[in-house]
Structure 1
Amino acid sequence: MKDNINLTQPLEMPYDGPPPILPPSIQGFLSDATGIALNLIPLCWGVLKEEAWEQAEDIWAGDEELFRNYGWNQGIMLMKLHPHTHFCDNADCDPTRPMKRENQRQIIIYTLLRGAQPGYHIHLTCKTFRTTYHNNYRVVDGTRIYYSTTPKYLQVGEHQFVEDAATWTSTMVLRWFSATNGAHLYNQTLAMHDEVLPPDWKIGKTIETAHVWDTFIINALLQDSIKCGEELEVPHTSDQCDRFKAAMERQNRRIVEEGQEEIAHACNKCMRVTENDDGTFGKKVEDKYYERGGASFILQERYCHTNASVVAPTNSVSTSIDNVMVTDLQEEFSVGEDGDVRMMDPATSSSVGQAVDGLDECGAKKSEQGNQVLKAIFSQQQTHNEQIAVCPCGVIVGRTTFHGTEAVSNIDLLEQLFLKALCNIPGFQKPEGFIYDCACDLHQQHQGDPWYNNVALCVDVFHFLNKHKVTHKHCQENCNPATYPKLMTDDKTGWFFNTSIAEQTNLWLGGYQAICRELGAIKFNFFLDEMIRLHNAEIVRQLATQGYNPWCTPANVL
């Protein structure tokens, strides 16, 4: 109650210690709550004020009931949010003169342990410079300028505050929790609707979906501004639904131009230091007969099958077609509401790209009935898919939206709008190899392009085994992962890199499809970029715990 006490003191009273006299309302509350006679409260305050003033402002068990029983009738609430200062921070303002022009409004604070709590939000105004100070921000000339600190209670509406905004965001990252489900969960389990409100209270306890969305958006923008050493500025007079659009768009644009925080990521799981004679990415046919049944063994058999006319080394694998034990399988997954990953048939899709003449596509075997099942779609689809660039350790370094399928006809889009654009971002180090399920088509279409010199293009192990033709010579000769020794472990019995990490990460990203379906373009990109940032932070934390030594390569090294 220190702020309540200070506001009632004369201008000349210092703020660095307890005042000699308590206001009448505070005296009455203390008398009723402690059972001490009202006329003895000033005496007790004179003796104990120094010790009481230095105590931490923690909320103890039983405090809520005391304020409800003895404070509400005097306008004293358990929770009262004040500005972070009582003095105007303008350099030309008198730093010794506290602001006394006070305004308060009823609010509801959505706490995690005490439910939806009634309280007051106090505004202080500097009449000289016409600046109004709130708990989260100050208002100057119609602009809301947030403080460069993380507030304990984040304002998400005119009369609504939430405690610990990061907790609300974490549910979205870890369990694909929508804002609607977040609001339902709080209202049903944490709001404590059975607890009464003051008789004259005009604000209800129910948290709305819009409040949860604003919790996510404001917290993300504020954390980004703090990290960049800037102040978050938004219009104060706009509607809440439009207030943060310009700030979100600025952040979206910056991520396109500068990339994610982990754009320069490297670790011992996604980068392997080797020394070749020519200093390039190694590429040769394996020279050892590996244990039968492993993926690397089957991939080598495929390679030898396509080169059956070439005399094989004495220690190479058999070239007999009968030994090629490969089954072409359908591969597509979905994430259920319970979070389980399930196999499913692909939905029908279309492409807006143009056919590429003269390209020998490397497709999977199809039955006469085809490999697609017609399905009815009763929701709007404004985009087709999200393309992501993922390090083998799981860190996502890039994302872009496709409005058509990732077919051969759209390879130019993949190359120009994603791969080359990603490599042009300052701080991003061009990889020595790209692993892509249609890498053979990309390799075939762009032979002779100097940009791909010293860059390996190979198909991931799963797609190479199950989705690519055994008889497609270009694919087998140029994009077989088994022909790249540096992708394998030193003993040649397994894979050093997880070549399927992009597909696995797609399963996580696909969990947000239902959440994103109705979002506008600005909010859509902002939400996915923030989810990726938080996802990367968790991956990096796990990598550090597991001893993979994650780091970001300094710009001067690049």
Structure 2
Amino acid sequence: MKWPESMVLRCWDSLKHVIWSTPNVVPSEGEIERFNECALPLGISRTLKEPMTYKAMLFTLHDGSLPIYTTSLYCRGKSPALIAFDCSSNSTNWACIYNTRLAHPQQYIINNPTVFSDVTWQSSRSSRSANWQSSFDLQADNVLNGFFLYSLLLDKADHCWQLILGHDMDSQLKRLTEALMERNRATEGIGQESYAHACNVCCHIFKNEDAKMVKLHAAVCDGIQIGHPCCAVHDCKSLLISHTTCHCKEHQTLDSLCTITGCDAACETGFHTCTIPQHHKAEQVYYEKGTAMFQLRARLKRAGITAPADSVGASEIEDVPPDSVAANAADCEDKSSSNSSHVKGSFSHNVTHTQLLFMRPCGIILSQATLFGSEAISAVLQAARATFPTPESTPEYLFYDTNCKLIAHQCYNLDTHFLHTGQPVDVFHFKNKHKESDIHCQLFCNPAAFPELMQEGRWRFNTSICEQTNVWIGGYRAILQNMEVTRFNFYMDEMIKRRNRFVIMELKAKGRNPWMVPFDVLFPPGSDAHMDM
């Protein structure tokens, strides 16, 4: 129509709501041809082209795993549509379940041999596998890639956005990484969809003795020792070069040095240690410790028992002094004690120390943060400030098991961010872990010093909610173990989002009246957090 771009934009602003609300209309072949005739000279045609056909596997529920040909068409202006499936359990287990019970055609016959005892059935999967380049078995990587892809599609759909992935990557791992990282960045701090949650379990509004309205919105903080691989240098937060390396790019030069602590000599070829025999021995012991035979021999040696002459490796068990024999039965399951005279070193990458959770007492998880080297107070404060970045977003009470140290750290650094937040220790830890003689702790962190936390002789808030939630997170330990950092964080955030939705559903069913605090109340216009969003 040869309109100027400004005119097109004005028309679109006026008509877009009508266009998007119109029921889908399928254009005729003639209309598509006419559009392309007009659009091609202007460079705005969206013709699908460059067809690529290749062999693939289709894993179905009804017909099992099937060999198929799939054709993809490339469009310079839009991303292809992709479909995957959901998974929230161990990927290896899901693949095993599918391969053993669902991958065969007519799997109901295999799963019910008694009922179909008179049916003659033979699988042709093995013969077909030999003539196809792909395995008919579902792989664990397929399950995880499907989970991440499906979760990304759901997240984009929730925000009415498109998922755009690169098509020139050599693996799904690389293809998904940038989209996963983008979602991780958006979820950090205040990014969980249930962040602004409040209900009459975690937020109490009442009149005090002076007839003034008081709001008590609490949060609880605690950590769980579950993590992902990281650089072998203590507290280093840089990404590993690859999932199989020990160091990040910054500390890559350490790969060529002896890994024994305090030794700067170069590694001998084929080893992670230098030529010093004691260092070689330490490396040998490190790799042997992973074997069951080594562990059993060590127990036998500590017990002071002589191995039979024909015992495998019996000659390697040295004589043990009589005084090392266990004194009583309670020592039977004791772990081997470390010898301070032995050399120490790091022969693999580290694992992050703690995942820190910030929660509401009702069970809603606000955020998670990774603590690399230790649960340092400075790192906890940094994570707390990221979760509650404005004065309006800070809770009236923040429960943490070592709040006494956290308060002291804030006072020393003149940090007034949580000046109007009470910081008691949760009831369980205060009763069992804190000394009565510590006046500072009793004054600022004893829950009993805050009478408004009591209602009719009972605590208003469940301050052990994090301890209870850690049991749930621990169930994912086998799945998260050794998972690459980007996928680790995405998986954690996705599980938290889904759990939060379930908790809200449960709260509604119990009449707990959940609601969302308006965004501009937590983050007033002009605040740094508001600008970041």
TM-score normalised by length of structure 1: 0.55
Q: Does structure 1 retain, via aligned residues, the 8 Å contact 2:400–2:426? A: yes
Q: Given the superposition, is the C-alpha separation of residues 460 and 213 from structure 1 closer, same or farther in structure 2, using an over 3 Å criterion? A: same
Q: What letter matches 1:92 in structure 2? A: A
Match of 2:65 among 116, 120, 123: 116
CA distance in 2, matches of 1:101, 1:352: 49
Q: Which residue pairs with 1:339 in the alignment? A: none
Q: Given the superposition, is the C-alpha separation of residues 537 and 528 from structure 1 closer, same or farther in structure 2, using an over 3 Å criterion? A: same
Moved more, 378-387 or 251-260: 378-387
Match of 1:398 among 339, 342, 367: 367
Q: Which residue pairs with 2:99 in the alignment? A: 187
1:274 correspondence with 2:274? no
Tell me by how many angstroms 1:421 deviates: 1.5
CA distance in 1, matches of 2:90, 2:164: 27
Match of 2:75 among 107, 119, 140: 140
Q: Which residue pairs with 2:434 in the alignment? A: 468
CA distance in 1, matches of 2:501, 2:337: 37
Match of 1:512 among 476, 481, 489: 476
- The alignment partner of 2:165 has SS state of strand
Q: What letter matches 2:97 in structure 1? A: L
State the Cα deviation string for residues 262-311 of structure 1 (Å, max 9, x = none): 111111211111233466678xxxxxxxxxxxxxxxxxxxxxxxxxxxxx
- The alignment partner of 1:224 has SS state of helix
Match of 2:183 among 251, 262, 281: 251
State the Cα deviation string for residues 359-416 of structure 1 (Å, max 9, x = none): xxxxxxxxxxxxx97789998542001011011011110111011222xxx212211x
Q: Write the mapping of 1:171-320 to structure 2, written as runs, cut at 5 A.
A: 172=88, 177-192=89-104, 195-196=123-124, 201-240=132-171, 241-256=173-188, 258-276=190-208, 277=210
CA distance in 2, matches of 1:414, 1:228: 31
Q: Given the superposition, is the C-alpha separation of residues 248 and 206 from structure 1 closer, same or farther in structure 2, using an over 3 Å criterion? A: same
Tell me by how many angstroms 1:112 deviates: 3.0
Tell me by how many angstroms 1:532 deviates: 1.3
Q: Given the superposition, is the C-alpha separation of residues 267 and 280 from structure 1 closer, same or farther in structure 2, using an over 3 Å criterion? A: closer
Q: Given the superposition, is the C-alpha separation of residues 114 and 484 from structure 1 closer, same or farther in structure 2, using an over 3 Å criterion? A: farther
RMSD: 4.2
Tell me by how many angstroms 1:182 deviates: 1.8
CA distance in 2, matches of 1:245, 1:89: 36
- Aligned residues between the structures: 354
- The alignment partner of 2:39 has SS state of coil
Unaligned stretches of 5+ residues in structure 2: 1-25, 106-121, 217-221, 227-232, 237-333, 339-345, 523-533
Tell me by how many angstroms 1:236 deviates: 0.6
Match of 1:548 among 512, 516, 527: 512
CA distance in 2, matches of 1:443, 1:405: 18
State the Cα deviation string for residues 477-500 of structure 1 (Å, max 9, x = none): 2211123233233x21x2221100
Q: Given the superposition, is the C-alpha separation of residues 267 and 92 from structure 1 closer, same or farther in structure 2, using an over 3 Å criterion? A: farther
Higher helix share: 2
Unaligned stretches of 5+ residues in structure 1: 1-14, 18-85, 124-131, 133-138, 155-164, 283-330, 336-349, 354-371
Q: Which residue pairs with 1:33 in the alignment? A: none
Higher relative contact order at CA 8 Å, sep ≥6: structure 1 or structure 2? 2
CA distance in 2, matches of 1:263, 1:333: 20
Tell me by how many angstroms 1:190 deviates: 1.7
CA distance in 2, matches of 1:435, 1:266: 17
CA distance in 2, matches of 1:120, 1:89: 31
Q: Does structure 1 retain, via aligned residues, the 8 Å contact 2:358–2:367? A: yes
Tell me by how many angstroms 1:220 deviates: 1.3
Moved more, 500-509 or 110-119: 110-119
Q: Which residue pairs with 2:405 in the alignment? A: 441
